Amino acid sequence: MTHAKNGHNNGPTMEAGFAFRKHAWAKARADLLPTLPIEILRNRVNRAKSLGLPYKTYASIRASTGRDVVGFLFSNNALRMMRDGQPSPRAQALSCVRADFAALIHAPMSPVQTRSVLTAQGIDTTTARAPHFAQRWSDIRAAVQAPLRDMRLPLDGVLVIGDTTHERDWSVAARLAGFLPSDAYFAA
């Protein structure tokens, strides 16, 4: 049997029956996906709203982890807190979110003082020192997981909200639910 190649990367075969096989494969995959009862779907839409997440984002995280989002890990960058004592202009948006909060604070800011400011703004959060980008991967993992373990949160139920590539790496290093840029989270 001869296969026609599409480009240098051994693309799809152009032999007879390809279109049907592609259709059959797509249908089989669709049949594997569960059809949710309307009440469960409504509950999940409401849960996404209570987390401040678009439903599509929430559903994607839930599908990839198999778990509900129960907490958020913010960077001080995501909270727009760039110096000690500075209140977060984004704290009010978090006041109605139903989840646990943790924040990793970059040096030279103080995690203790940042927590105090957030508490004064009505946000109950755990704070800790953010890992430095030059640390070993295992040290980054330990630093990111420590406050979440103290809070007894399931790691794959925590979403990182941040601004930098280094903060995006936190979710991978610590095996968290994922990463969402802060502008995307706070835009909703």
Is 62 in contact with 70 (CB distance < 8 Å)?
A: no
Q: What is the pLDDT of residue 34?
A: 66
Identify the structural domains of the chain with CATH numbers, from first to last: 38-187 (3.40.50.1000)
| DSSP-based helix, strand, coil % in the chain, nearest 5 | 45, 15, 40
pTM of the complete model: 0.80
Q: How many CB atoms lie within 10 A of CB 103?
A: 25
Largest separation between any pair of C-alpha atoms in the chain: 73
Q: What is the pLDDT of residue 10?
A: 61
Kindly state the tokens that stand for 172. 């991978």
Beta strands in 15-155 (DSSP E): 71-75, 100-105, 125-129
Q: How many CB atoms lie within 10 A of CB 23?
A: 10
- pLDDT by residue, tens only, the chain of 188 residues: 555 555 555 666 667 877 888 888 877 766 665 677 899 889 999 999 999 999 999 999 999 999 999 999 999 999 999 999 999 999 999 999 999 999 999 999 999 999 999 999 999 999 999 999 999 999 999 999 999 999 999 999 999 999 999 999 999 999 999 999 999 999 96
Residue 131 phi, psi (nearest 5) = -70, 150
Q: What is the pLDDT of residue 24?
A: 81
Beta strands in the chain (DSSP E): 71-75, 100-105, 125-129, 158-162, 178-181
Q: What is the pLDDT of residue 21?
A: 83
Is 101 in contact with 124 (CB distance < 8 Å)?
A: yes
Kindly state the tokens that stand for 19. 């279109």
